[in-house]
A = this chain, B = another copy of it.
């Protein structure tokens, strides 16, 4: 790593505090007709900022060593982590630098989902159902399309 890059590194505890305010753990369960189970589990971690703070997203990316920066919407940009290997690193990061707000509950559900995906549980009907139930408890979100679909209700019970 160059001296320049070293200057870009942020304190890990600062990142943890910033994520407690600005970060989001999210697990989408999306319909994909050409897959075996027709539903895909898509976990992601995001930090969205106004473009004036894209520099901070880059510093977080440099410090973590993974994640992509892309436009979110309008003047907002996001640092997004989607690769399973990177998400596993991210989980270690927040185990070492714990979140302090109720967002920690979302993180723990997220971690359990990644653990189950690691065990390929998302590739069976029963495992997918369990993951969708965990995901539905995150972000105070309403029940997912997957859990509400009559297909799921019929097939997985």
A-to-B contact residues, CB < 8 Å: 10-22, 49, 52-53, 56, 59, 97, 100-102
Contacts and interface: CB of A to CB of B under 8 A. Distances in A.
A20 to B, nearest CB: 5
Nearest to A60: B100
A21 B17 contact: yes
The secondary-structure label for the interface of chain A is: helix
Nearest to A18: B17
Q: Report the copy number of this chain in the oligomer.
A: 2
A11 B18 CA distance: 13
Contact of A100 (B13, B14, B52): B14
A6 to B, nearest CB: 16
A33 B100 CA distance: 44
Nearest to A99: B14
A21 to B, nearest CB: 2
Contacts of A17: 11, 13-21
A102 B97 CA distance: 24
A97 B17 CA distance: 12
Contacts of A52: 102
Contacts of A12: 13
